[in-house]
Amino acid sequence: RWMAEGVTLADPAATYIDTDVEIGPDTVVLPGVHLRGRTLVGAECQIGPNTVLTDCVVGDRSRIVASFGDGARIGDDVSVGPFSRLRPGTVIGARTRVGTFAEVKNSKVAEDVRISHFSYIGDTTLGRGVNIGAGTVTCNYDGERHHQTHISAGAFIGSGTMLVAPLTVGKDAVTGAGAVVTHDVPAGETWVGNPARPLVRRRPGTSKTKP
């Protein structure tokens, strides 16, 4: 049926599609793919190889490689994987990249975001154009409750940053590599260290410092 409607199945015998699934034309489904439940896949996508999507919505021209999605909504022109996991409640905006070994849970991710590799984003909102460095973790669970992290548009989160929720990172703010952030970061500021503090820069020609 799907091949007759313009979908390419590279190996139909190694592809598993539930009866309630919908797939747009010119999409390519590669071997080892399971499309389950009420998954909707848009046009001109590439799904697989080795991808499992359950009750997901995928926009047009998106590419999902060797990854798992469960109840996630994925926008147009998105790249996911390989080896990533999108858990229930996840919304991924257009042109965003979720790269290798990244996990996103119950989070709203805006357009043009980069979560390139080795990161956990949970109970979080990410504004447009945010960059998440490798090894970043949103520390959303304190042993009793889950807490929210808000990262505003244009923020740059350095590699290995620990964001201890509840927490807000302001617009265009920066965290340095390895920062452990336990307080809100104001817009435009750079915070570094453990625990993270505003970066202090020495003014040229003077012994005084200025935050």
**What does the pLDDT look like over 27-69, one tens digit per residue?**
999 999 999 999 999 999 999 999 999 999 999 999 999 999 9
Phi, psi of 192 (to 5 degrees): -140, 160
Query: Among 34, 117, 146, 183, which one carries the catalytic annotation?
Result: 117
Residue 95 DSSP class: T
CA-to-CA distance for 70 and 82, rounded, in angstroms?
16
Collect all residues with Cβ–Cβ distance below 8 Å to 204 and sequence separation of at least 6.
Answer: none
By percentage, how much of the chain surpasses pLDDT 90?
Answer: 94
The predicted pLDDT at position 200 comes to 72
Q: Which of 92, 96, 140 is nearest to 120 (CA)?
A: 140
pLDDT at 190 over 80: yes
The pLDDT score that the predictor gives to residue 201 is: 61
Residue 112, Ramachandran bin (φ over 0: left; ψ between -120 and 50: alpha; else beta): left
Q: What span, in angstroms and rounded, lies between the C-alpha atoms of 49 and 53?
A: 12
Cis preceding-peptide flag for 49 (omega within 30 of 0): yes
Nearest Cα to 190, choosing from 201, 199, 181? 199
Cross-strand partners of 146? 141
Per residue in 11-21, pLDDT tens?
999 999 999 99
Average predicted confidence (pLDDT) for the chain: 95
Residue 147 annotated in active site: no
Evaluate if pTM is beyond 0.85.
yes
How far apart are the C-alpha atoms of 106 and 71, rounded to whole Å?
Answer: 10
Residue 206: what pLDDT?
42
Task: Give per-residue burial for 20-48: e unless 16+ CB within 10 Å, then b.
Answer: ebebbeebebbebbbbbeebbbbbebbbb
Whether omega for the bond prior to residue 166 falls within 30 degrees of 0, making it cis, is yes
Per-residue pLDDT at 209 exceeds 60:
no
pLDDT higher than 70, residue 211: no
